[in-house]
A and B are shown apart, each in its own frame.
Chain A
Amino acid sequence: LAKTTQPISMDSYEGQEVNITCSHNNIATNDYITWYQQFPSQGPRFIIQGYKTKVTNEVASLFIPADRKSSTLSLPRVSLSDTAVYYCLVGDRLGGTASKLTFGTGTRLQVTL
């Protein structure tokens, strides 16, 4: 089972870069790493996904080392609106057409002025 481990919480000031690391020691060869953001009273929403090295989109960057046993979500210049819970997700393939997608406990990011 590709279990993930993240810090429970992080604090940041507005304008800083925030890096959240996720450990997934048992990641399988075909698994992708996906990050989600969740605001209170809403379902999680997709931020970024990667397989190896570095991926960047308009919201964040994702860094994945060669051994793929961890990944780091990087949020550049956070604002108050980035205060949310961030989840790292790794697929757990069962050999069928769907993966058993297991979330970790998430990282609660608090951004202040």
Chain B
Amino acid sequence: DVKVTQSSRYLVKRTGEKVFLECVQDMDHENMFWYRQDPGLGLRLIYFSYDVKMKEKGDIPEGYSVSREKKERFSLILESASTNQTSMYLCATQGPGTNEKLFFGSGTQLSVL
């Protein structure tokens, strides 16, 4: 089975801090995604990456950046955390071909105080 590991299950940060959320996958998948999930809003795509050092903006990229230096690792960065970035963050990977299913991590619940 594909394993998608997110570094933290719960995280508490202060406004203005720089925050790194890490995601590691063990299946050599090309595509990786970051979503945030808020009550009543479903999953919203922040950024995705289809190769090392390649990235594309999703629907809500403002306030976020990403890094993909190695194929297995995709990092989400909050340059200056704000309270409206308090959310559940989910990482996903996708295998070869654009119709392959997504595999999700367990999520990181981030609270910005």
What is A's interface to B at a CB cutoff of 8 Å? Answer: 32, 34, 36, 41-46, 49, 87, 89, 91, 93-94, 96-106
Q: Which residues of B lie under 8 Å from residue A87 when comparing CB positions?
A: 42-43
Q: Which residues of A lie under 8 Å from residue B98 when comparing CB positions?
A: 91, 93, 97-99
Total residue contacts A-B, CB cutoff 8 A = 75
B48: CB under 8 A from chain A? Answer: yes
Q: Secondary structure of the B side of the interface?
A: strand
Interface size class of B (residues with CB under 8 A): 20 to 34
Residue of A nearest to B42 (CB): A105
Residue of A nearest to B96 (CB): A97
Shortest C-beta distance, A40 to chain B (Å), equals 10
Cβ B50 vs Cβ A98 within 8 A: yes
Q: Secondary structure of the A side of the interface?
A: loop
Cβ B41 vs Cβ A101 within 8 A: no
Residue of A nearest to B107 (CB): A43
Known contacts A42-B107, A104-B42, A105-B41, A98 near B101 by CB under 8 Å:
no
Q: Which residues of B lie under 8 Å from residue A41 when comparing CB positions?
A: 106-107
Cβ A44 vs Cβ B43 within 8 A: yes
B24: CB under 8 A from chain A? Answer: no
